[in-house]
Amino acid sequence: MTTDTPSLSPTAQGLAHRITVATWVYRWGFSSDFVIQRLLQKQATGWAAHATKRKLLRATSTASGVPRRLYTLATQGLELACQHAPKLLDYKEQDPLAINQATIRHELFCQHLALSMLRGSGTKHVLSGREWSPPAEARLKCPDFVFETPEGRKVGVEVELSAKFGRRLDEFVGDTLNTLSDEAGFHQLDGFLIVSDIAALLERYKLAFAAGNLLRTWKKDQRGHWRVKSELAVRADQARLIRYLSYKTDRL
């Protein structure tokens, strides 16, 4: 993140802002005017609209109108991001109409939360989910993002805005616990933080990850129907690695 630095000339400050925004949008896929305003720690809105006119960003209206527009990288912004990003990614949002509109609130909520955590003393660095992404074939949970503490612990963050039930809940819990095990290798995490703005959802996940709770594993039978394969209990040492946070924001 950058703020206006008196020691930099206006030209250098402008370039620093463009690099900051381009790499942020590159790492997360898309963003909003308000998130970009918070990223740059600006008092006034309008930076994203100006960057759109400068061909750094591309604005696309949302179906819901909340927020009014999404911002993705235009060609110039993508080139700038690739020059400065710590890791090259497959940036699929060059076609903004391909963005799943149903995920917009969740993704912007994650960005809002990540920025709040970066402002605190307990977060050294943040990686978006696409930067952390484990191999698709692995039974590991790819978190919404990962934060690193000053002590070097890597903690996955899962933002949950709707409830999971049955097999989907079991798989969520199982994959999360797998990611905390030594077998996860390079993608092993030291803990998970479950975040929601709904108190009842947090209580549901606390029960699902509670020590002694029975976790079902599933497999398909010969007819392709899902059946319970086995049951195993969540261990106390696993349960201690899961934390919970209530987080609300009125604007994305």
Per-residue pLDDT in tens (0 to 9) along the chain, 252 residues:
555 666 778 889 899 999 999 999 999 999 999 999 999 998 888 999 999 999 999 999 999 999 999 999 999 999 999 999 989 999 999 999 889 999 999 999 999 999 999 998 889 999 999 999 888 777 899 999 999 999 999 999 999 999 999 999 999 999 999 999 998 999 999 999 999 999 999 999 999 999 999 999 999 998 999 999 999 999 999 999 999 999 999 899
Same domain, 140 and 91: no
Full-model pTM: 0.93
Same domain, 91 and 118: no
Same domain, 192 and 219: yes
CA distance 41 to 36: 8
What CATH number has the domain bearing residue 23?
1.10.10.10
Same domain, 138 and 225: yes
CA distance 30 to 94: 10
Q: Pick the last residue of a domain from 97, 121, 147.
A: 97
Q: Report how many domains make up the chain.
A: 2
Residues 6+ apart with CB under 8 A from 37: 44, 45, 47, 48
Which domain range does residue 183 map to? 108-246
Distance of CA 4 to the CA centre of its chain: 26
Q: Pick the last residue of a domain from 43, 63, 97.
A: 97
Q: Is residue 55 helix, strand or coil?
A: coil
Q: Pick the last residue of a domain from 97, 132, 150.
A: 97
Q: Is residue 31 helix, strand or coil?
A: strand
List, in sequence order, every beta strand (DSSP E) within the chain. 57-61, 69-73, 125-128, 145-148, 154-159, 191-196, 214-220, 226-233, 242-246
Same domain, 166 and 44: no
